[in-house]
Amino acid sequence: MLVVALVSFSLFNFVGDPINNMVGEETSDEEREELRESLGLNDGVYVQFSRFIVNASKGEFGISYQLRRPVSDLIIERLPATIELVIISALIALISGTLLGVYTSINRKGLLSDIILAVSLLGVSLPTFVIGILFIYLFAVILGVLPSFGRGEVVDLGFWSTGFLTISGLKAIILPSVTLSLFQMTYIIRLVRAEMMEILQTDYIKFARARGINEKSIYYKHALKNGLIPVITIAGINIGTLIAFSIITETVFQWPGMGFLFIQAVQFVDIPIMSAYLVFIAFVFVMINFIVDILYYFIDPRIRVKGDKIIG
């Protein structure tokens, strides 16, 4: 976390001259100096860094160079849109990815499995933005059944604005979330399948067969529970990746989330937004890792009862 803070601070500090980016060519040197002073850019590096940390922990990242508004306001405004999108996509990717992965690993020779696998390979080869464009063209331009951009009507709950409560909001989220989840879903299918197939070849599965345990129990109890352990890790990384890829989806669908904000910031070298986004992402990742570790503890007894001595 601190590492990320340092990186985003150095971004803030050493990358170009923010003043140049903020003001026009015609600004005089005095005016520049004044602005510099007011932004605290003339203080020592350590002072600036500690101020950055303090402010960051309070959720303040300064003022956007480009939009001239406090970054924290911008983030809070955009946050709900991104989170709703990512959660829906993660659910789609995880649930359908795991189910299809298990299905293809158990029915290895079936026609349906072959189709799922071929489609999943195609899915890995389809860049997210291409999927998005195809969807827009198909559902919005040709069929005209779903909206191609925006969030639809949102309901403001004070601190949170949600699109879940209106029909247009729900309609609007279908295309972006499916687009976003598709790549991850295919990835999970392949991972689960590889993992399951490896487990099905282990000695303990063979021994379970030799004891006459029925196939259903072998697949869904013995193999699946072992197979899900790495899936948890992947699910963690998966959510992180979804957030990153939401940048693309949000751009394609002009979804008013943080990714859209970020990509504009990159194009205009709007450092405060970039560094705030980075800190936000780092925070999410740390949280996800933490949750994954806890889940591991509950699922894998080898970690849970490690302290016990081997007896006998």
Partner 1 sequence: MDNKFQNTWERIKESDVYFSFIKSPTAIISSVILFIIFFCSFFIEFLSPYDPFDPSTLSLMEAFTPPSWTEEGVAKFILGTDGQGRDMLSTILYGSRISLIVGFSAIIFSLVLGVFLGLTSGYFGGKYEMIVMRLTDVQLTVPSILMALLVDGIARGIISRELHDEMAIYVLIFAIGISEWPQFARVSRAATLVEKNKDYVSASTIIGVSNILIMFKHILPNIMRPVLVIGTIGLALAIIAESTLSFLGVGVPPTTPSLGTLIRLGNDFLFSGEWWITFFPAIFLVILAFSINLLGDWMRDTLNPKLN
Partner 2 sequence: MSFLKISNLSVDYKMRRETVNAAKNVNIEVSKGEILGLVGESGSGKSTVGNAIINLIDEPGKVSNGTIFLGDINVHKDPENIVNYRGNKIGLIFQDPQTSLNPIFTIGEQLIETIQTHLNLKLEEAKNKAIGLLKEVGIKDAEVRFNNYPHQFSGGMRQRVVISLALCCEPELLIADEPTTALDVSIQSQILDLIKRLTKERNLAVILITHDMGVISETTDRVAVMKNGDLVEIGPTKKILTNPKEIYTKSLVSSVPPTNKKIDRFIIIEKENKKQSETNIKILNRWTKKEIINQYLVQVKHLSKTFNDSFFTESSKNSVMAVDDISFKIKEGQSFGLVGESGSGKSTIAKMIVNLFRPSKGDIFFDNVCITKIKSNKEMMKFRKQIQMIFQDPYSSLNGRLKVKDIVAEPIKLHNPSISLKDLNSYINDLLESVELTQQSADRYPHEFSGGQRQRISIARALATQPRLLICDEPTSALDVSIQAQILNLLKDLQEQLNLTILFISHDLPVVRQMCDRIAVLKNGKLCEVSKTEELFKNPSHEYTKELLRLMPKIESIYNL
Chain contacts with partner 1 (rule: CB under 8 A): 3, 11, 15-16, 121-122, 124-130, 133-134, 136-137, 141, 197-198, 201, 237, 240-241, 243-245, 247-248, 251, 262-263, 265-267, 269, 271, 274, 278, 281, 285, 289
Q: Tokens 């509950």, residue? A: 298
The answer to the question of residue 22 lying near partner 2 (CB under 8 A) is: no
Strand-pair partners of 63: 70
Q: Are 288 and 240 in contact (CB under 8 A)?
A: yes
- Scanning 98-106, 170-178, 206-214, 232-240 for contacts with partner 2 by CB under 8 A, the matching segment is 206-214
Q: Is 41 helix (H, G, I), strand (E, B) or coil?
A: coil
| Residue 300 binds which entry of partner 1, partner 2, none, CB below 5-8 Å type-dependent | partner 2
Please say which residue, 207 or 290, places its beta carbon nearer to partner 2. Answer: 207
Q: Is 248 helix (H, G, I), strand (E, B) or coil?
A: helix
| Residue 276 binds which entry of partner 1, partner 2, none, CB below 5-8 Å type-dependent | none
Distances (CA, A) of 50 to 2, 21, 136: 12, 24, 46
| Residue 105 binds which entry of partner 2, partner 1, none, CB below 5-8 Å type-dependent | none
Within 280-309, which residues bind partner 2 (CB under 8 A)?
299-302, 305-306, 308
Q: Which residues contact 187 (CB under 8 A, 6 or more apart)?
A: 97, 124, 234, 238
Type and span of the H or E element at 156? strand 155-156
Question: Which of the 8 DSSP states describes residue 262?
Answer: H
Q: Are 123 and 183 in contact (CB under 8 A)?
A: yes
Least separation in angstroms between residue 309's CB and partner 2 is 8
Identify the sign of the CA torsion 165, 167, 170, 172.
negative
What is the per-residue binding string for partner 2 in 214-243, x denoting contact by CB under 8 A? xx-x---xx--xx--x--------------
- Scanning 90-98, 111-119, 199-207, 281-289 for contacts with partner 2 by CB under 8 A, the matching segment is 199-207
Token couple for 141: 């331009």
Q: Provide the binding-site residues for partner 2, judged by CB under 8 A.
A: 202-215, 217, 221-222, 225-226, 229, 299-302, 305-306, 308, 310-312
